[in-house]
Every structure is written in C-alpha cells, then in structure tokens.
Chain A
Amino acid sequence: MQDKHIVTSFDNDLERIQAHIMKMGGLVEASISDAADSFLLRDVELAEKVRARDASIDELETLINDDAARVLALRAPTAIDLRLILSVIKVSANLERIGDYSKNMAKRTSVLLQMREIDNAASSLRRLAKEVELMLKDALDAYIQRDPQRALEVINKDKDVDQMYNGMFRQFLTFMMEDPRNITACMHLHFIAKNIERMGDHVTSIAEQVVFLTTGERPLEQREKEDRTSHDVNMSLDPKTET
C-alpha cells in the first residue's frame, strides 16, 4: 500500500498505533452488539459484560493518545504520516464515545426489566443498533484499506439511521400519549434510541477521517438532516439533544 520508511522503527510505531485502533474498533463493535442483545434477550449478565469491556476501551484510547503524542514529538511526521496521527487521535475519541453509549444502553437493561414491555421496541432498537454496528465495521474496513469511496458510502448511510430514529421517536411519543403508564419506559427507550443515533454520528466522523487520511480533504458537503421534525420537538424533551 505505502512504501516503507527508511527508519523501520517509524513503521513499527505507526503499525502499533493502527493495531490498537483495530483492536479498539473490534471491542466497540462487540459492545454495540452485546448491548443490543442484552436488551432484546433481557440478559443482565451480557449487559454487565458490556460495562466491564468499557474499561478496556478507555485504556486503549489512552494508549493510542500516548503513542500518537510520542510520534508527534519524536518523529515530526508529515503528509500521510501526519494525517494518520491526526486521524487516530480523532478516531479513538469517536470509538471511546460509541463505547460509552453502548455502556449506557446496557445499563438501562436492568432498569427496563422492572418496567412494562413496549411492543416491538427492543427489536427495533436492536435493528437500529445493528445498522450502526455494520456502518462501524464498514468505516473501520475503509480505514484499514484506505478506501475513501467506501467511507463516503458510510457517510451516506447515516441518513438511514436518522430516519429510523425519527420513526421510533414518533412511535414512543404515540405510546406515551395513548397511556401515561408507558411514559417512564418510553423515556428510557427514547434515550437508548437517541444514543444509538449519536453513535451513528460518531461512525460518520470516523468515515470522514478516512476521507481526510486518504485524500487530505474533508468531505465537502455537510449532510442536511432530512427530517428535522423530531429534532425540533426533541429540544424540549431530550436534555442532551446535541452533545
């Protein structure tokens, strides 16, 4: 893919950092998947696993940042090497956030066990999570293969996630209006849906880093949110609409 550096230890440094990114990415993918499953299967043990895994994800982020700082200080990277270092710092931060959202989702599993079940909610949430997990997998593949085209496809898919989220938002609203006893459960479910939607934004940011890494340019168009309805209503309901 890329010629080797004359100084081999420089290549080793860069490979080590990227290996950590891939490892972190693998853990985060597993967390999304387990969090969604724990939810659907009402599996508290699986949820606990997600929580425990988050510590390893955080550790990897620290490791990656330390390594990136060392390379900046000691190797004075330029061009593709510089863009690689800038991108790993950003990508690791995105992965860490996605990990956090998964943990948050898993935490709500035990809470929701004590509440009345809402039709279809768990399976729609799992579908949404699955979609984000697939996007993440594609984004990481694009990253490792240095494939900006594939990254752009991921960026485009974020619209679908937003749309799915908007649909669920309306559904939860309907349930709450139909029967006030649904409110507590629906509020929790909505937080989860919102968190998954935010995960999608972080995946998109990773895909944008792939474009920057490979081309030196930022993806020009900022995507217009297709459906702003829930976003607008949201402001009054979700205390952390835009994080």
Chain B
Amino acid sequence: MLDTTVDNMIEEKPKIIARDVKVVYGDKEALRDVSLDVMDKTVTAFIGPSGCGKSTFLRCFNRMNDTIANCRVSGSLIYDGQEISAHDPVTLRARIGMVFQKPNPFPKSIYDNVAYGPRIHGLSKNKADLDGIVEKALRRGALWDEVKDRLHETGTGLSGGQQQRLCIARAIATEPEVLLMDEPCSALDPIATAQIEELINELKQSYSVVIVTHSMQQAARVSQKTAFFHLGNLVEYNDTGDIFTKPSDPRTESYITGRIG
C-alpha cells in the first residue's frame, strides 16, 4: 500500500499534502496519522463506514474543524506551499470551497446566493462584473438554463437537486482551486444525483474535487483516486480502478464487496 501511495505522489502534481494528520475530539481520537496527497484536476473519493473519520479529514482541508470547540488537529497539511493553519481561514475557504450533504442555500435570491462570496471577497469591480461572475458560476453549476429567468426568486424554492447545484455554483463563484463535497448527493434522487455527478466530472477540468460518499458505486463512477478509511485510519489510497478490482487490504475488500469484515 505504501509503495503505490508513494508512486502516486510523484507521478502527478499534489494540491494538498497531508502528513501524519491526527484529529482528536476532547480525548477521543477520530483520525490517526493520515498521510495522503490530494491531486490537482482529479476527483478523489473518501469512502468507509460511518464514523471512520471521512468528514473529519475533509474538514481539516479548509479549517472547518477550527469551529468545533473540543477538536484539535495536529500533523502537517500543506496547501499552496504553506501550512493550512497559517492561511487566513476566510481567504482559505474561498479557495477551498465546500458543499454539504443537505443543500443549504441562504434564504435569499438565487442571484444573491451566488454573489455572496464574490461580494465579501471583493472579487467584482461593479454590477456588470458581478452579473458576469454569477452567470459564469451558474453555468458551470449546470443550473443557468433552469434559473436564468428567475434569478431574483428565492433559492430555497428550487428542487433539492437544483438547490445542491446552486450550492455548488455558490462554492465555485469565488474561483476556488479545491472543492470539498461531503455526501453531496445523499439527499437527492437518482436523476439529480446523475446531474451532480456529471457536473463533478466537468469541474475536475478546472479544480481538484474531494468527495466523501457512502455510495461506493458513486465513488467508482466519479473518482480517479479513492481513499478507504476504517476506524480513523487511512487503510488504502490508490487509483479507483485498482481499489474496485483488486484492493490490496482485506479490510478494503470486505467493505467494498459488502462483507462482514
């Protein structure tokens, strides 16, 4: 396992370099010495049983764990040549965007949902500029055609799938480099799920996407790299094709084949 991980590290360009990352909640260890490189322009899937630490690890990437009182992160996480803990959290979250399990649009207009980030980060010079940013984000979010005539209606009035694409558009409006998604489809029907998966595939042309999913078929469909977590350990990290045809660790094998391990 270690060997292949090392191979993967040298053949492509890493976007985030995690080394010996450890996370505790109070005195409870949630993540143990996780080392992994998140590659650029790649979809990376985190899979594993509930409570194995996938979300915890994902939240390390944009300092979301800082907001949890008893949570402590140690080890090293390098983004853009610098420790993540040294980045300003607000700027960091503009460059490493996040989409959550439940679509959570602000109770504002579709337009304002998307314009929110660019506004607070001062990314637009004027109204026309901002309009352009909103349109581009909604297009990339594969939502533009459905909402272009009702941009000033409230975002919460959209269907679940549309709301999730709105949240993705909101996250990419600040031109992030990395997009984190924590079970983004678990509240969606299969068609809306397929649309999000198609979108993820498009987004990887420009971003590095990390997706936590409890659907192994989804991991297989959308990702190029898969990391399997178990009880706070990173068990195996490899090309998705290899993980699903010849996993090297018996724990991975048991999990992905649906066996009682």
Residues of A within 8 A of B (CB): 2-7, 10, 76-83, 215-217
Contact = CB atoms under 8 A, between A and B. Distances in A.
B247 interface: yes
Which of the four size classes fits the interface of chain B? Answer: 10 to 19
B26 interface: no
Given A78-B216, A78-B220, A79-B253, A6 B258 contact: yes
A4 B244 contact: no
A3 B259 contact: yes
Interface in B237-261: 244-247, 252-254, 256-261
A192 to B, nearest CB: 40
Among A3, A78, A215, find the residue whose CB has the most chain B CB atoms closer than 10 A: A78
B217 interface: yes
A216 B257 contact: no
A80 B253 contact: yes
Contacts of B246: 79, 83, 215-217
A216 B249 CA distance: 13
A78 B256 contact: yes
Interface in B86-121: none
Given A78-B216, A82-B245, A215-B246, 5 more contacts: A5-B257, A79-B244, A80-B253, A83-B245, A216-B246
B245 A216 contact: yes
A3 B244 contact: no
Contact of A82 (B244, B252, B259, B261): B244
A77 B259 contact: no
A118 B4 CA distance: 60
B235 to A, nearest CB: 14
A83 B256 CA distance: 13
B257 A81 contact: yes
Nearest to A84: B257
B247 A3 contact: no
B258 A7 contact: yes
A104 B257 CA distance: 42
Among B217, B256, B259, find the residue whose CB has the most chain A CB atoms closer than 10 A: B259
B180 to A, nearest CB: 25
A10 B260 CA distance: 13
Given A79-B244, A216-B245, A3 B256 contact: no
A167 B244 CA distance: 46
Contacts of A7: 258
Interface string B152-192: 00000000000000000000000000000000000000000
A3 B245 contact: no
B216 A5 contact: no
A217 B245 CA distance: 10
B254 to A, nearest CB: 6
A78 B246 CA distance: 8
B244 A6 contact: no
B257 A78 contact: yes
Contacts of A79: 244-247, 252-253, 256-257
A77 B217 contact: no
A5 B244 CA distance: 16
Contacts of A217: 246
Contacts of B244: 78-79, 82
Contact of A5 (B220, B247, B252, B259): B259
Interface string B213-226: 00011001000000
B254 A3 contact: yes
